[in-house]
A and B are shown apart, each in its own frame.
Chain A
Amino acid sequence: EAQVTQNPRYLITVTGKKLTVTCSQNMNHEYMSWYRQDPGLGLRQIYYSMNVEVTDKGDVPEGYKVSRKEKRNFPLILESPSPNQTSLYFCASSLSLGEKLFFGSGTQLSVL
């Protein structure tokens, strides 16, 4: 089944403890991106990647890192999480930029 898989689904952590949220797609998509969703602010893009080894900042990149070493994987890294990074995170992919976008199931992150 074609899908975007994120893990974990839920994560509770403490301030400063490094964490990684994984994202994988099995559709051979070139474009992948990360969003966070907050009440009243909607969906905002964190980082995106046009292809392997090509990443760029979205609207809210501060406090996040990404890497794209393989086409199928696009992990989101929080080196030193803070409470203001508590949010619902989504990974998404599409064949290329500008094509139909497919989302993962989301990761609810709480930073205490």
Chain B
Amino acid sequence: GIQVEQSPPDLILQEGANSTLRCNFSDSVNNLQWFHQNPWGQLINLFYIPSGTKQNGRLSATTVATERYSLLYISSSQTTDSGVYFCAVERSGNTPLVFGKGTRLSVIA
């Protein structure tokens, strides 16, 4: 099946710093989504981005489908950004989303 690798596995930032999280996948995909799991365990959908670039406030994401990677940018990080960020991909219709292992982000004041 398709492999999804996220890097780095762990990241510690000072509040106000910027960061880039990466998601590599091993096959062409129809669907790619980024999620944030907050310290209370809730999973929030950040982006639905099978290709191109999207922005939402301090967060933006870019997927280069032809090169099989996606990037999540967090600017001016805040302590509320802490948690685990997951990338998930779907290879084709009728196949379920496959999740990466996540990047654990800790933002310290």
Contact = CB atoms under 8 A, between A and B. Distances in A.
A59 B96 contact: yes
Interface stretch (A18-26, A40-48, A66-74, A77-85): A40-48
B25 interface: no
B52 interface: no
Contact of B33 (A40, A100, A105): A100
B42 A48 contact: no
A98 B102 contact: no
In the complex, which range does the number of interface residues on chain B fall in?
20 to 34
Nearest to B43: A103
A45 B42 contact: no
Interface in B34-93: 35, 41-45, 48, 86, 88, 90, 93
A106 B41 contact: yes
B17 to A, nearest CB: 26
B61 to A, nearest CB: 13
A111 interface: no
B94 A97 contact: yes
B45 A105 contact: no
A100 B99 contact: no
A82 to B, nearest CB: 23
Contact of A42 (B48, B93, B96, B101): B101
A101 B86 contact: no
A88 B45 contact: no
Contacts of B94: 50, 97
A53 interface: no
Interface of A: 33, 40, 42-45, 48, 50, 58-59, 88, 90, 92, 97-103, 105-106, 108
Given A42-B101, A48-B96, A101-B33, 12 more contacts: A42-B100, A42-B102, A43-B88, A45-B97, A50-B94, A88-B41, A97-B90, A98-B30, A98-B31, A101-B97, A103-B43, A103-B44
